[in-house]
Amino acid sequence: MQHAEILERAVKLAKKGAGYVEPNPRVGAVVVKDGQVVGEGWHSSYGGPHAEVVALAQAGEKARGADLYVTLEPCSTVGKTDACTHAILATGISRVIYACKDPSAANGGKARSALTAAGIEVVKVDSTPACDELITSFAAYTKRTLPWTILKWAMSADGKVATTSGDARWISCDESRREGHEERARADAVIVGRATVKADDPELTVRMGVKGRNPVRVIFDTGLHIGLESKVVLTAAQAPTWVLHAPDVDARRKPALEALGVKLVEIPKGPSGRIDPVLALRHLRDQGLHRLLVEGGPTIHGALVDARCADWIRVYMAPMLLGGVLAPGPVAGMGVPTLEDAVTMTDCHVRVVGTHDFCLEGRVSRHREA
């Protein structure tokens, strides 16, 4: 088997992680011994095991003396997972072949030094357009100041997220809702606006049998009007809860919220008169929150789309019609004047969820650079 053939296989594996691993890069790995593939894997979930670790685990004892092919230079630093170089050293791999150098300053070029010092041969082969494309978003992310932001909503076939009376439970099926909880478990933070808290009183925790930690619950609430009786406030001592508000709020409301465990964060207002979404997201990344799941509603979705802060869209569409001029759609905001100004999606995927829901997801092609 030739280098190019094996790396092509690794690229196909890596693509399976699209939408689930960001802002981490999509990576595929293949373990080859005596010309035969004995293990393979891909990075399948943000915070989950990296491609190299999955491939080495599948190879087991056959990894000793084998070659490890990776689309991207293995990581050599400890983050949400242990360094992949540690796993490589522990399994007795004799040679590592990779296509792309890691673009991050914290890791780029360091794997070669660590592995070579331990007697492992390291080969950097010429990359391919397919390998380069896998890390395009990751390379851009290392240079910008905003977190990776996913907008997720469920809607009817005619594009409504609730009826004219506000009834929205449940538009999507159980299987779609479970996927939403799985996404929460992958996220560093889940975000809604105060209107969603008032209308739905959500818990914003990981449930429905899904295992994983609860994300930080973030509520955009310009005027700090969130009710003390809401579930997110009453359970703030059990699950981290942050309320982002403008500077000019009634300070008398703060002590009761803080006493219940809510973290209050002051964010300046933007041109809309609400808290500035760019400054809000930049603050969240500064606090170490890199993958954000925005669950609504239309106002916050619209603000983030207007500000070009969304990276990925995941839409669950149910086969029902709600109708009504006043029934809300999923994205409010200022909108665009022409179709040429539309925010478009690329790398799109459509699949059936459960017995009848459709999920459309894809990367947002126009994003704020900073």
By annotation, the residues acting in catalysis are 52
Residue 169 is classified by DSSP as T
171 neighbors 155 (Cβ within 8 angstroms)? yes
Residue 14 contacts residue 55 (beta carbons within 8 Å): no
* Sign of the CA dihedral running 234, 241, 82, 54: positive
Q: Do 122 and 96 touch, CB atoms closer than 8 A?
A: yes
What type of residue sits at position 65? G
Contact 270, 279 (CB under 8 A): yes
Q: Which two tokens stand for residue 221?
A: 């609430």
Closest by alpha carbon to 70, among 16, 7, 112, 22? 7
Cα 28 to chain centroid, rounded: 18
- Tokens coding 296: 């609504």
Sheet holding 312-318, edge to edge: 263-266, 241-245, 216-220, 189-193, 291-294, 148-156, 312-318, 357-364, 345-353
